Structure formats: structure tokens, C-alpha cells
Amino acid sequence: MALPLLTLPKAELHMHIEGSLEPDMMFALAQRNGISLPYDSVAAVRAAYEFENLQSFLDLYYAGAQVLQTEQDFYDLTWAYLHKCAAQGVRHTEIFFDPQSHCDRGIPYETVHHGITQALRDAKTHLDISSGLILCFLRHLSADAAMATLEQALPYGEDIIAVGLDSSELGHPPSKFQAVFDRARAEGLLTVAHAGEEGPPEYIWEAIQLLKVSRIDHGVRCVEDPALVDYLIEHQIPLTVCPLSNIKLCVFESMAQHNLKQLLELGLCVTVNSDDPAYFGGYLLENMTAAQTALDLSDRQMQQLAHNSFRASFLSPQEKQPFLEP
């Protein structure tokens, strides 16, 4: 009997909340907020989602996020994603948010923070889904801007579990943000960083050695450096891999060529995640299914991925335990 993937408890560790903005919600929020969109229809938005690389996606992702204006908008966005989690057997999720893409267009930090965190609290109460919130810095902006964002968020630091690094990777190495990450860790926050999606293995080393990350987001280019692969295995530093994202952004030519299975068989702690589900054609379940089919992953490997997702999470050992039992 095939493994019931839908009901298998899963955790998601790499999902940008702004990337869960579905085209129909984009239209509804544009109308609610009196914003005009450069598209005639939901179908036209979907048709625009053909990307050549990370930057061509980011341009549309930042444009789409402009419809998010009020606390209610951020609540509705987050709540819709959490409903998807409930429907797909996702029991825990650690989500990214990008305050700079909102604050830089005049939205108060508190508006973003309160809308998202209220939805996360409601999901615990009403959907039995636990969560963590990860504040990401936009790496194409300056280190000073990242520090100012951190200072703005620290009064609400109780709600934030970690800081991360996203946006355009090439030309913006982790070392650029060492001081900001030092400060975040001094405040008791954990750290993660996107590295080795489009950037070289050296960026993964920098994230580990300079930013002291607990996980690497993406990290698929680690295979280009055997010493790095050995290190990731030895220290079981998790990689939050996003299969559909990697295909949509042309990191791999096809799902059959994705290195997820290779990483798993080498003994790395890899997890599967959706990254920006509204833009890349699927939530966590669709990512797991697409990888399973194209790479012929066994039931045991699918179970390993689900197991890794809790192992790599920021839940406490007691909270993880029920999900790690065989």
C-alpha cells in the first residue's frame, strides 16, 4: 500500500509568506485597497509566472507584495496559507517574512507583524498547527538597512524565532551581514540563510562560519565542494530544499535532474519545502509528490523527509518527540 503522504505529519521550514499570495487574493486585495494591477485577469497573472532565474521571479514577487497594506491583509494572507497547511497534514511551519519590502513603501512594521502573528496564534488554537516566525533581511539592500530593520523588530522579538537572509544571492555574500547576525544572536535569536541556490559553495561556508546558521536554505550547490558535503553530513546541518522552486527558477533543468535524492542518499539532513507556493505551482504536498514521482523516491525516503522536517525544526525536543516516534 502506498504511503498516505497527505496524512503523514509534516513540518515546513522554508516558505516566504509573501510568496503564498495567490493571484485571486492579489486581485481581491488590490480592489480592497484601490490599487491598480498591470494585469487584466487572474489568468494573465498566472501566465506571467515564467521565470529565467531568481531575479526575474523577485521582480514580480516584490511587485505583487505591494497589494498588502493593512493588518487585515497580512492576517488574511497568513490565514489562507495556514488553511492549506491544515489540508495537507502540515503540523508545524516556520515562515519567513520580509519586513523591508513593506516598511520601505511606508507600511509600519507593527502592521505587518501583528497581522501575521495573530494568524499564527489563531492557527495554534483553531487548527492545531504550531509555528515559528523568521525575519528575513533583503540581501540586495545594505547591511545598515538590515541592522535598522532588526532594531525595529526587537521590541517584538518574543514572537520571532530566527533571522534569515533572502533576495538576490549573487554578489551579496553572507559576510556582508556578519554584524547584523552577531547582533541578532546576542539578542537570543537563531539564524538561517539562503545560500547555494544560485550562489557558490563558498556562500554556504560563510553562512556556517560567519553567520553561525542552524540551517541552510536551499544549499543544493553544496555538491560542488566535497569537503562541504562531508561537513554538512558530519554536523547534520539541515538543508531546506525547494524542488518546484528550483525547477521554476532554472536551478535544475527538470525535476528528474534534481539532486534531492543524491543528497538524501549521501546522508544529509534534507527537507522538502514550498518556498513561494503561489508562484512556483504548489504547496508542500505538491513539492513532495513531484519529487517522489520524478526521482522515484521510496516510501522510506518520503518518511525520512517528513522525519527530517521535524528534526531540523526549531521545536523543543519535547515538542518534536511525538513526531519522531517510528
Residue nearest to ligand HPA (CB): 166
Instruction: State which H helix or E strand residue 163 sits in.
Output: strand 162-166
How many Cβ atoms sit within 10 Å of the Cβ of residue 105?
12
- Catalytic annotation on 12? no
> How many residues can be counted in the chain?
326
Q: Does 276 bind ligand HPA (CB under 6 A)?
A: yes
Q: What element of type H or E holds 131?
A: strand 130-138
Say which DSSP state 68 is in. Answer: -
246 vs 304: CA distance, rounded Å? 21
Residue from 10, 84, 102, 194 touching ligand HPA (CB under 6 A): that is 194
Choice between 76 and 275, CB closer to Zn ion: 275
**Is residue 245 part of the contact set for ligand HPA (CB under 6 A)?**
yes
The listed partner (Zn ion, ligand HPA, none) that binds 73, CB under 5 to 8 Å by sort, is none
User: Could you say which of 22, 94, 169, 197 is catalytic?
Assistant: 197
- x/- contact string, 157-176, with ligand HPA (CB under 6 A)? ---------xx---------
Under 8 Å between Cβ of 68 and 25: no
In the complex with Zn ion, the residue whose CB is nearer, 18 or 275, is 275
Residues of this chain, 58-77, that bind ligand HPA according to CB under 6 A: 61
Q: Does 101 bind ligand HPA (CB under 6 A)?
A: no
Q: Which one, 8 or 275, has the nearer CB to Zn ion?
A: 275
Q: Which is nearer to ligand HPA, 84 or 194 (CB)?
A: 194
Dihedral of the alpha carbons of 269, 163, 191, 59, in degrees to the nearest 10 = 50
Query: Which residues sit at the interface with Zn ion, rule CB under 5 A?
Result: 275
Binds 167, which of ligand HPA, Zn ion, none (CB < 5 to 8 A, cut-off by type)? ligand HPA
**DSSP characters over 195-235:** ESSSS-HHHHHHHHHTS--SEEEE-GGGGG-HHHHHHHHHH
For the chain, how big is the Rg over CA atoms in Å?
18
In terms of CB distance, is 244 or 312 closer to ligand HPA? 244
Of residues 14 through 33, those in contact with ligand HPA by CB under 6 A are 16, 19
User: Alpha-carbon distance 314 to 309, whole Å?
Assistant: 10
- Residue 258 contacts ligand HPA per CB under 6 A: no
What span, in angstroms and rounded, lies between the C-alpha atoms of 93 and 11? 6
For residues 97 and 167, the answer to whether their CB atoms sit within 8 Å is: no
- Supply 24's cell numbers: 485571486
* Single residue of 68, 197, 282, 285 touching ligand HPA by CB under 6 A: 197
Binding site for ligand HPA (CB under 6 A): 16, 19, 54, 61, 166-167, 194, 197, 245, 275-276
Residues catalogued as catalytic: 197
